[in-house]
A and B are shown apart, each in its own frame.
Chain A
Amino acid sequence: MIDPTPMRMRDKIVLRVVSKLLIPFILLFGLYVQFHGDFGPGGGFQAGVIFAAGFILYGLIFGLDEVETVVPHRFVEIGSALGVLIYGGVGVVNMMLGANFLDYSVLAHDPAHGRHYGILAIEAGVGLTVFATMMLIFYAFADRGRRPGGAA
């Protein structure tokens, strides 16, 4: 439960220990889903959400200020736009190399490798946008909860 006063959650030792144990694995799993999305289920979207979930869990337990020092507001705002830019940028790079927009085959000598690199690049863009946007929405919500309580 999100309480306007995050102090209460932080004082609960079970929550604190379990979340600290879980968060590294959540983040690792997020990275796995991101970079293994072409071989197993997953991809940028799921990875971004999982990655954000790890940080949101941290924010829920330890408070908004703590997580904002790890993932600053500014980073989240820029990252949200940067992901889309990476995606579109890969497409434009392809055009500059003489192929169609978002035709990745020209990114490497072997067209299959080029397509693979292209997919990795745009998935990174998707992951960044999704992660940043999820954090952004979480911050926007949690910030409102913090204000009336004056816990910040």
Chain B
Amino acid sequence: MPSIPVELPIFILHLLTALLIARLRGLFSAAMLTGIFSLLSCCLFTLMDAVDVAFTEAAVGAGISTVLILGTLALTDREERQRPARALPFVVVIVTGAALIYGTFDMPPFGAADAPIHMHPVVQTFVHGAEHDFHIPNIVTVILASYRGYDTLGETAVIFTAGVGVLLLLVEGKRAGDPPSEPDHGSDGSDVPRDEAA
């Protein structure tokens, strides 16, 4: 008798959450549901033994990004504005989704021992090296911090760049005078030195 994989209910919940997010008009509930979506992904990653990824998803996806979405929500309406349904976005989404699913047909089955990623000779170098050259049990850390240290340096720089970008967009944009901050010009002026500190 075929057993039902434990991932199946999580996938179904994913689907339901995504449908609900698409259907809901209340933006607050939609924001909370995106957090739940991330939490479900986190469960899925844990089941697939990708604990580091699950960790990141829980902290970034369910935590920080939900806070940021809520922060954005405080600046806008609570309700989504009703707009006439358009066909093009729907078609684009369907085609993209179909292409992604088509792409998975080329992937080896999950957990297959003869998957290319397990067969490549460099894997032995990493697994063996982490034990003998580093004495560090977590191979993920060894690969990220040392074998691919140059990549991680780039990623850190990307995060820094993202922060600078947000500063430029949000903090500088304020001085140019965006509509909501027009009324209290007095406080805008007093904040200029602080903007320059940025």
Residues of A within 8 A of B (CB): 1-4, 33, 37-43, 45-46, 49-50, 52-53, 56, 60, 73-74, 77, 80-81, 83-84, 87-88, 91, 101-102, 104-105, 111-112, 115-116, 118-119, 122-123, 125-126, 129-130, 132-134, 136-138, 140-145, 147-148, 150, 152
The answer to whether B180 and A84 touch across the interface, beta carbons within 8 angstroms, is no
The answer to whether B163 and A144 touch across the interface, beta carbons within 8 angstroms, is no
Q: Which of B103-153 contact A (CB under 8 A)?
A: 133-138, 140-142, 144-146, 149-150, 152-153
- Does B20 belong to the interface (CB within 8 Å)? no
The answer to whether B67 and A81 touch across the interface, beta carbons within 8 angstroms, is no
Q: Which of B56, B145, B167, B181 is within 8 Å of A140, CB to CB?
A: B167
The answer to whether A118 and B68 touch across the interface, beta carbons within 8 angstroms, is no
- Does B59 belong to the interface (CB within 8 Å)? yes
Interface centre among B60, B159, B183 (most CB of A within 10 A): B159
Closest Cβ–Cβ distance, residue B63 to chain A (whole Å): 5
Closest Cβ–Cβ distance, residue A12 to chain B (whole Å): 16
- Does B48 belong to the interface (CB within 8 Å)? no
The answer to whether A141 and B159 touch across the interface, beta carbons within 8 angstroms, is no
User: What residues of B have a CB within 8 angstroms of the CB of A77 in the complex?
Assistant: 167, 197-198
The answer to whether B140 and A41 touch across the interface, beta carbons within 8 angstroms, is yes
Q: Which range holds the interface residue count of chain B?
A: 35 or more
User: What residues of A have a CB within 8 angstroms of the CB of B153 in the complex?
Assistant: 84, 87-88, 91, 102, 122
Q: Which of A1, A38, A50, A136 is within 8 Å of B59, CB to CB?
A: A50
- Does B75 belong to the interface (CB within 8 Å)? yes
- Does B81 belong to the interface (CB within 8 Å)? no
A111 to B137, CA, bound (A): 16
User: What residues of B have a CB within 8 angstroms of the CB of A2 in the complex?
Assistant: 67, 70-71, 73-74
User: What residues of A have a CB within 8 angstroms of the CB of B144 in the complex?
Assistant: 43
Contacts known (A39-B136, A46-B55); A145 close to B75, Cβ less than 8 A:
yes
A2 to B31, CA, bound (A): 12
7 extra A-B contacts, CB within 8 A, seeds A37-B141, A39-B137, A138-B64: A46-B59, A84-B156, A129-B160, A136-B166, A141-B72, A148-B75, A148-B181
Closest Cβ–Cβ distance, residue A49 to chain B (whole Å): 4
The answer to whether A150 and B187 touch across the interface, beta carbons within 8 angstroms, is yes
The answer to whether B63 and A49 touch across the interface, beta carbons within 8 angstroms, is yes
- Does B194 belong to the interface (CB within 8 Å)? yes
Contacts known (A80-B163, A116-B134); A122 close to B68, Cβ less than 8 A:
no
Q: Which 8 A-B pairs have the closest CB atoms?
A: A133-B163, A41-B51, A141-B71, A49-B59, A102-B149, A140-B170, A119-B145, A145-B74
